[in-house]
């Protein structure tokens, strides 16, 4: 650990897993840089973190769908002399419906947020971590990146699979330099995610044992990255699903995916 209070940057910090990361890290003695589009929510969360945990919480509103945002964010950190020890790449969302149902710009924006922005932020902040001999990068991926693709939300699982492989490679490249990298892979999590994608009614039909709350996901994630795990799937149910997906023949796995995805994917 650094001698000073660690500084953690969390993207998508205005709600869900991102806000849970901010609260848990603040409770563990971290200062925060909160990044998301909704400035009002960020300022409210920053006030809570200061009052409850005595954390110094910086607010930087940013839309990571803008390709210039990662560079501007890094420039702002440098201008404020903020050296990031933990990077939590959490921002993300799914595009409901089939691939051709959305305009290309909608898909391009989602790829920018899910793939390009976290990759660029890691590239921009990693050198400082390596130089200081300490750093943690958490890329919030998904169980979806481990199981066969499904119809609907076409690019989501593919993007999360990228984050998993990227995290593995980055972890190997930096494991001897004091920098731990982990792809955190939750399954169904209580958050605003399904409200944003318009699938709340669909996923609400799934059994409760398949769900975790954001706080449990975050606690598992922090412990996993500190242990040096390159990939961590949260929850016993999700780990069982991942194991079964690996063992099943491809045709069977795709058939099961096609059958089950109708329960939680919007296909129009």
What does the alpha-carbon distance between residue 123 and residue 117 come to, in Å, rounded to a whole number? Answer: 10
Sheet with 31-36, strands from edge to edge, namely 57-61, 31-36, 7-11, 86-89, 135-140, 179-185, 231-233
Domain-embedded: residue 2: no
Domain-embedded: residue 47: yes
The pLDDT mean for the chain works out to 89
**Structural domains in the chain (count):** 1
pLDDT one-digit tens code per residue, 148-181? 888 888 999 999 999 999 999 999 999 999 999 9
CB atoms within 10 A of CB 227: 10
Least confident of 44-58, 126-140, 211-225, 237-251: 237-251
Domain-embedded: residue 145: yes
Helix (H/G/I), strand (E/B), else coil: 115: helix
* Burial classification of residue 65, based on how many CB atoms lie within 10 Å of its CB (0-12 exposed, 13-18 middle, 19 or more buried): buried
Which residue did the predictor score with more confidence, 124 or 241? 124
pLDDT one-digit tens code per residue, 85-115? 999 999 999 999 999 999 999 999 999 999 9
The pTM is what?
0.88
**Proportion of the chain above pLDDT 90, given as a percent:** 72
pLDDT at position 194 is: 45
Judged against a pLDDT cut of 70, whether residue 209 lies above it is answered with no
Domain-embedded: residue 266: no
CATH number of the domain that residue 201 is part of? 3.40.50.720
- Please tell me which residue in 53, 93, 134, 156 is annotated as part of the active site: 156
Structure tokens belonging to residue 80: 């404020």
Domain-embedded: residue 177: yes
Domain-embedded: residue 211: yes
Binned at pLDDT 50, 70 and 90, residue 263 comes out as: low
* Burial classification of residue 202, based on how many CB atoms lie within 10 Å of its CB (0-12 exposed, 13-18 middle, 19 or more buried): middle
Domain-embedded: residue 121: yes
Rg for the chain, CA atoms, rounded: 18
Residues 136-144: what's their mean pLDDT?
Answer: 96
Told to judge if 53 belongs to the known catalytic residues of this protein, a careful annotator would answer no
Nearest to 154 by CA among 77, 267, 72: 267
Domain that holds residue 226: 7-261
Domain-embedded: residue 267: no
Binned at pLDDT 50, 70 and 90, residue 197 comes out as: very low
Whole-angstrom CA distances from 232 to 10, 157, 222, 223 are 18, 16, 10, 10
Binned at pLDDT 50, 70 and 90, residue 251 comes out as: confident
pLDDT one-digit tens code per residue, 1-44? 665 899 999 999 999 999 999 999 999 999 999 999 999 999 99
| Contact predicate 152/197, CB 8 Å | no
pLDDT at position 193 is: 52
């Amino acid at each position: 650990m650094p001698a000073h209070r660690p500084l953690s940057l969390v993207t998508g910090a205005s709600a869900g897993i991102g806000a849970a990361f901010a609260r848990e890290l603040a409770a563990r003695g971290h200062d925060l840089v909160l990044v998301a589009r909704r400035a009002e929510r960020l300022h409210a969360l920053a006030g809570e973190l200061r009052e409850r945990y005595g954390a110094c919480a910086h607010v930087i509103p940013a839309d990571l769908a803008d390709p210039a945002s990662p560079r501007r964010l890094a420039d702002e950190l440098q201008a404020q002399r903020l050296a990031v020890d933990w990077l939590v790449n959490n921002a993300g969302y799914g595009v409901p419906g089939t691939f051709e149902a959305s305009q290309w710009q909608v898909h391009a924006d989602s790829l920018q947020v899910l793939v390009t922005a976290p990759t660029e932020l890691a590239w921009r902040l990693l050198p400082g971590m390596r130089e200081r001999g300490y750093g943690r990068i958490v890329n919030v991926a998904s169980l979806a990146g481990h199981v066969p693709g499904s119809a609907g939300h076409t690019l989501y699982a593919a993007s999360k699979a990228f984050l998993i492989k990227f995290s593995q490679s980055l972890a190997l490249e930096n494991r001897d330099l004091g920098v731990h990298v982990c792809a955190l892979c939750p399954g169904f999590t209580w958050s605003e995610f399904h409200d944003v994608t318009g699938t709340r009614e669909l996923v609400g039909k799934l059994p409760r044992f398949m769900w975790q709350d954001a706080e449990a996901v975050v606690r598992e994630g922090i412990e996993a990255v500190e242990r040096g795990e390159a990939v961590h799937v949260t929850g016993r149910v999700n780990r069982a699903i991942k194991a079964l997906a690996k063992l099943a023949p491809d045709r069977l796995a795709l058939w099961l995916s096609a059958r089950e995805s109708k329960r939680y994917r919007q296909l129009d």
